């Protein structure tokens, strides 16, 4: 029998090049998902759009993680002024409000709300409403006994579906650039 010597360096180099292409493709997929998320989040105050973080690429686990976070600030309560339609005003003390992650509330929705300990809910509004309202800390609130349920707005799922359609083209382009 004849002795054969096989040089595997080219095969090992090909494996390293494929791994590098996979990492580049993952980075581009993460960046494209980031763009889709920023386009899909509802724009009311802009906080949710600003809360979309650039992708965090983990090349060892081959994952790209994008965090969407927008929290309402906790308020410490304090003094407020009730403005009645008649023009009269009255000073009131407001209870503190807890912070909550409204990025999740927008994506998943929420059930109807009723106050747990107080008598009414304060709902922040833009502009001056026609009826009675409370002004506190430079913000304007209307007073309601309850708040209706909010339907889910699955912006994250819409962005993922868009990326799913583009993923083969993105990966094919990366491999075409590196191996042609």
Q: What is the pLDDT of residues 135-160, one digit of tens each?
A: 888 888 888 888 889 899 999 999 99
Confidence of residue 1 (pLDDT cuts 50, 70, 90): low
Helix (H) or strand (E) holding 92: strand 89-94
What pTM, to 2 d.p., does this model score? Answer: 0.75
* Whole-angstrom Cα Rg for the chain: 27
Mean pLDDT to the nearest integer, 109-128: 83
Mean pLDDT of the chain: 87
Helix (H) or strand (E) holding 88: none
pLDDT digits (tens, 9 = 90+) for 57-84: 998 999 999 998 887 777 777 888 889 9
Furthest C-alpha separation in the chain? 108
Helix ranges (H only) for 2-143 are 9-40, 47-50, 102-108
């Amino acid at each position: 029998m004849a002795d054969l010597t096989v040089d595997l360096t080219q095969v090992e180099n090909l494996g390293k090049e494929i791994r590098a292409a996979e990492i580049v493709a993952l980075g581009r997929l993460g960046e494209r998902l980031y763009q889709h998320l920023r386009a899909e989040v509802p724009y009311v105050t802009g906080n949710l759009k600003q809360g979309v973080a650039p992708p965090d690429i983990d090349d060892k686990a081959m994952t790209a993680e994008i965090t969407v976070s927008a929290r309402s600030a906790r308020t410490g309560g304090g003094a407020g002024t009730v403005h009645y339609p008649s023009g009269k005003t009255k000073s009131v003390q407001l209870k503190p409000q807890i912070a909550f992650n409204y990025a999740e509330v927008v994506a998943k929705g929420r059930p109807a709300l009723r106050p747990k300990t107080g008598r009414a809910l304060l709902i922040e509004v833009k502009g001056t409403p026609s009826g009675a309202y409370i002004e506190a800390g430079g913000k304007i609130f209307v007073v309601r006994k309850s708040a209706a349920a909010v339907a889910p707005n699955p912006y994250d799922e819409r962005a993922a579906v868009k990326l799913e359609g583009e993923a083969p083209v993105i990966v094919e382009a990366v491999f075409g650039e590196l191996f042609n």
